[in-house]
Amino acid sequence: MDEVTALDQAHAAMQAAPEEDAARLRFYDRLAHCELFLMLKEEAGEGDQITPELFEVGEAQYVLVFDREERLAAFAGRQVPYVALSGRAIAGMLAGQGIGLGVNLEVAPSAILLPEAAVDWLNETLGHDPREVEAAISQVQAPTGLPEALITALDGKLATAMGLAESAYLVGVTYETGARGHLLGFVGAVPEAEGALARAASEALTFSGIAAGAMDVGFFRGNDPIVARLRKVGLRFDLPQPQAPRAEPVVPPGSEPDKPPRLR
């Protein structure tokens, strides 16, 4: 039996609940972030320029992608050129071109035709710039009223952000302006990664079906005074950290009776 992929599972959940926006958003989230194999008309040229193979369905044009190389080969029935890209990158490449996306056609339960409007929507959604905190915070409290779908989405997003920050805390906040809301505060973020972390938080909101204004994003150093308050009341997310190489102790020759020194 063929492997059931994460995209298959997300598609099945969407099909089982056609009226549920959250299931549909989870499918698009999975599509955007998985590796897809795009069928090409010819091998990539100089400068990695690619020419996707176009297929006409009715009056519309589609490119074809597959979430496994084996599925691409099964569809084509022969050796064909292809390139591996993220769904995000493919949506960006196709946006505004009047071209739809055919996913796993004829070879998987997740087979689906996404029209050009869906591709444009996905690219626009992924391109939203998140709002970062600028107003001063007067109060910090435990987060309340946020759906479990957002917590799950944040946990999944941040689990892939290895080494980009020490941790993150979700809290409720009141600003000096009197406005209230929620904040995802990153502690010890790598400066160059702040944009990527903010986008990940924004996507977690979007693909959970929650309005973009429901959560702000902030970045703090470990010694900032507010961090103590975040740690006290916040919901903590631990980002995975790269493991430092372990230094093996140097043992002088002859110091281990069971391992005599080698003679040359």
What string of H, E and C letters represents the secondary structure of 116-183? HHHHHHHHHHHCCCCCECCCCEEEEECCCCCCHHHHHHHHHHHCCCCCCCCEEEEEEEEECCCCEEEE
Those residues whose C-beta lies under 8 Å from the C-beta of residue 218, and which sit 6 or more positions away, are 132, 133, 183, 184, 185, 186
Those residues whose C-beta lies under 8 Å from the C-beta of residue 23, and which sit 6 or more positions away, are 13, 14, 16, 17
Residue 40 CA: distances (Å) to CA of 36, 50, 157: 12, 7, 30
Is residue 216 within 8 A of residue 132, CB to CB? The reply is yes
Mind listing the pLDDT tens digit for each residue in 95-144?
999 999 999 999 999 999 999 999 999 998 887 655 555 668 889 999 98
Structural domain spans, the chain: 6-126, 137-238
pLDDT at position 46 is 67
Q: Look at 247 and 262; give whichever has higher pLDDT.
A: 247
Mind listing the pLDDT tens digit for each residue in 189-238?
999 999 889 888 888 888 887 765 578 899 999 999 999 999 999 999 99
Those residues whose C-beta lies under 8 Å from the C-beta of residue 59, and which sit 6 or more positions away, are none
pLDDT-derived band of residue 63, with 50, 70 and 90 as boundaries? very high
- Give the domain 6-126 fold: Trna Endonuclease; Chain: A, domain 1 (3.40.1350)
Q: CATH class for domain 137-238?
A: alpha beta
Q: Indicate the SS3 state at residue 82.
A: strand
Is residue 148 within 8 A of residue 181, CB to CB? The reply is no
Residue 39 CA: distances (Å) to CA of 106, 147, 151: 14, 39, 36
**What residues does 102 pair with on adjacent strands?**
64, 113
